[in-house]
Structure 1
Amino acid sequence: MESFFEIWKNLSWKKIDSSINKKTEKDVQKAIFSGRPNFEDMLALLSPIALKYIKFLIKKSREITKKKFGNNIQIFLPMYVSNFCTNDCSYCGFSSKNKIRRKFLDTKEIEKECKKIKSLGIKNILVVSGENNRIVGIEYFLNTIKIVKKYFSMILFEVQPLSVKEYSVLQKNGLDGILLYQETYNYTDYNKHHIKGKKKDFFWRISAPERIGQSNISKIGLGILSGLSKYWRVDYYFLYLHIMYLRKKFWKCEYSISFPRIRPFFYSKNKKKFLGISDLELIQVICSFRILFPEIEINLSTRESKKFRNFMIPVCINNISVNSKTYPGGYTKKKKELEQFSIQDNRNINQIMKYLQSKDLQIVFKDWDSHFGR
């Protein structure tokens, strides 16, 4: 089976963009009400004309989610362990060019963060780090897993792309899943925003999910960062193709999808809205993915506003983060100047729980235990 990079390389961005924009209302209607939606249906659901059917998209997504997942919603927290980074990326607070104080958590500090997060009732943890192999490489990650697995039943990582061998070692030591976003599938825009560092290697990143699959890690989380390319509809179509490819090749893995939008960081000179996707368009995208992937988990982070999350959570969301701190030591220290980006929904766990209960949603703090998965 050829790699996804080979598939990506042989597809025309312009032709896909043209196909999306040529879709008609009849195409959209077929896509929404089709029992088995296909590639052409996804093009239709992502089309501009599909916005006219947003109420139907929402209704269909709600019905699918209710049928597949009931009223359950899972809560997780990200734990940032380092903001050291060798990459220069235009949109990130951790970028090497930014004159910020750098910090990585030592063993005692990781333990302290874990205890604090665990005291909030959290069972699922996402460990996040800037990309710096010298300071936060495989040995650091192994030590982190050793500490974290004493406190949490599911351990996910969002770190630099690794080799198959490195992923395999992490899996054997207790890692359950990896979240890794391509950021954008548009090669020109990717190079524009990733100026230097290992992350500039487009091929290494786009092939990483396959290396994760080869390592027998249980869960793979994908997504793009809306705001990097103005051709976001095509970007999301490539994300759809990528998931389809991975599910066929690594059918034993579980998958999740995230839909982050660029947010300003503490030292950002531009505090205004970034180029990208409107709230209504993002609703269209998320609902489209739910219709095409009824059983895949959809994540919604605190990058989004309270208003947006309140609307979308009962529609088709499975996992949410709560009161996230996007800097190392965020739950035990207050050092906002270390943050990666600004969050939009600042509600604490009790406030979120109160909202979820008002919507008759069942909060699931633990739905997986590593011991049962190995």
Structure 2
Amino acid sequence: MTFLNEFNQWTPERVQQLIDAAGPAQVEQALANEHLRLMDLAALLSPAAEGYLEQLAQRAHRLTQQRFGKTIQLYAPLYLSNLCCNSCLYCGFNADNQMERRTLSLDEVEAEARILHERGFRHIQLLTGEAPGAVENAYLAAAVQKIRPFFSSISIEVYPMDECGYAQMVAAGVDNLTVYQETYERSLYDELHPYGPKRDFDWRLNAAERGGSAGLRSIGIGALLGLSDWRKEGFYVGLHARYLAKHFWRSRINISFPRLRPADGGFKPLAPVSDAALVQLICVMRLLMPDSALVLSTRESASLRDHLLPLGITQISAGSSTSPGGYGQQAESSQQFAIDDDRDAEEICSMLRAQGYDPVFKDWDRAFLDNSNR
């Protein structure tokens, strides 16, 4: 049984009914349970839980402190290419957008990697558009091998691959995969992706478990907040995370909370997500998945990111660029979206220390994996 089979059992109507049926009694019972059931997940995401936000936040804070202490891991994104053949209406890389397109050469990839290494980063995330014939597995594997000496952990957020492709990435040195479903609402997904290989909802939905089967150390998922009702999206993200944690228990499950940001094409959020809603969602995910990394990127403002840290966030990006070559050349005209928090790594570290946190640039090394196989 794949996640697709379980997903299909939870129709949007069924999920909505479960959320609508929750009242104060269900919320209080969910808050009292050590391990959340799916009905608890729906209750804590419901409007009825809005009056319990302080209790949610306190419990999420305690759980995070118990599991992760006072550490926050820092990472940086590195965009390799903005070429794309998909028509995602919300994305700056949309094939229909008129923009400067480029794919970094391997030497340019190394130059960008050196800059990030010099800034202290040891965890890096590689990103691309989807462009068969220009950006393929062989290019990605070569890029990973080129920068592998600089980083202890390399993540990819690229087009979905088959299991063999993910195994190829693992062999090259990748240990983390991030793949957002964007929206779990199938009909809306079809509307937002008029053409291109990304239009295949099922292929994307099962990408995370193909990565798990290939042996990736951690798997990151999430919904792009602002496309559909955040309560239902949160339920499906939780359902997906629970499935992955059960079937790929050797892999850590990461959950991200990307909210739509301004991008080329001028797409506006269809279902805006308030700061209060984001707080509720983060707290609920911490209660559901106590040992998962919760990730917040520079899409959010500096002030909001600072205030969200105690609620369950354990990983943040810093000094980010969403353009290929953006660290060395500041090619902002070709960015995927506009970032909001533009503080560099040093400023982020100062903020973390002022709040009593320990910024961590490295908490993993491939040698751990190599030693475990001896």
Fold conserved (TM > 0.5)? yes
Comparing 328-337 with 74-83, greater Cα deviation is found at 328-337
Structure 2 match to 1:221 = 220
Report the residue type matching 1:263 in the other structure: R
Q: Which residue of 2 aligns with 1:314?
A: 310
Secondary structure of 1:49's counterpart equals helix
Once the 2 structures are TM-superposed, how far is the Cα of residue 273 of structure 1 from its aligned partner?
6.0
Other-structure match for 2:272: 276
Partner of 1:60: 59
Name the counterpart of 1:209: 208
Q: Is the 8 A contact 1:193 1:228 kept in 2?
A: no
Equivalences for residues 1-374 of structure 1 within 5 A: 2-229=1-228, 231-265=229-263, 267-269=264-266, 275-374=271-370
> Deviation of residue 206 (structure 1)?
0.5
- Distance in 1 (CA, whole Å) between partners of 2:260 and 2:200 is 21
Q: Aligned equivalents of 2:66 and 2:202: distance in 1?
A: 38
Deviations along 1:270-309, whole A, 9 cap, x unmatched?
A: 5x66632111001000100001111111000000111210
Whether the 8 Å contact between 1:260 and 1:303 is mirrored in structure 2 is yes
Runs of at least 5 residues in structure 1 that lack an aligned partner in the other structure: none
8 A contact 2:299–2:341 mirrored in 1:
yes
- Partners of 2:81 and 2:127 within 8 A in 1: yes
SS in 2 for 1:76: strand
Q: Which runs of 5+ in 2 are unaligned?
A: none
CA deviations over 1:187-232 (Å, ceiling 9, x no partner): 1110111111000000110011111111011110000001111x32
Measure how far apart 1:269 and its partner are: 3.1
Structure 1: how far apart are the matches of 2:350 and 2:340?
A: 18
Contact in 2 for aligned 1:184/1:235 (Cα 8 Å):
yes
Offset at 1:173? 1.8
- Equivalents in 2 of 1:314, 1:232: separation in Å? 21
1:82-137 deviations in Å (ceiling 9; x for gaps): 00001001100001000111011001101110110001011100001111121110
The offset of 1:139, in angstroms, is 0.7
> Which AA in structure 1 matches 2:32?
F
Q: Secondary structure at the match of 1:134?
A: coil
The one-letter amino acid paired with 1:247 is A
The one-letter code of the counterpart of 1:269 is: G
* Contact in 1 for aligned 2:298/2:340 (Cα 8 Å): yes
Q: Say which is worse superposed, 7-16 or 117-126, in terms of deviation.
A: 7-16
Q: Give the Cα–Cα distance (whole angstroms) in 2 for the partners of residues 249 and 291 of structure 1.
A: 20
Separation in 1, partners of 2:161, 2:331:
29
What is the aligned-residue identity percentage? Answer: 35
* Counterpart residue type for residue 143 of structure 2: T
Please say if residues 244 and 253 of structure 2, whose CA atoms lie closer than 8 Å, have aligned partners that are also in contact: no
Distance 1:325 1:38 in 2: 39
TM-score computed with the length of structure 2 as normaliser:
0.97
Aligned-pair CA distance for 1:337: 1.0
Q: Is the 8 A contact 1:31 1:37 kept in 2?
A: yes
- 1:36: Cα distance to partner? 2.2
Residues 313-372 of structure 1 deviation map (CA, whole Å, 9 limit, x = unaligned): 122111000121001011101211100000011111121111101111011110000122
Tell me how far apart the structure 1 counterparts of residues 58 and 247 of structure 2 sit (CA, whole Å).
32
What is the letter of the counterpart of residue 300 of structure 2? E
Kept in 2, the 8 Å contact 1:19–1:43? The answer is yes
> Does structure 2 retain, via aligned residues, the 8 Å contact 1:123–1:152?
yes
Alpha-carbon distance in structure 2 between the residues aligned to 1:90 and 1:220? 25
Contact 2:227 2:269 (C-alpha < 8 Å) held by counterparts: no
> 3-state SS of the aligned residue for 1:264?
coil
Please say which of residues 325-334 and 31-40 is displaced more in the overlay: 31-40
TM-score (normalizing by structure 1): 0.97
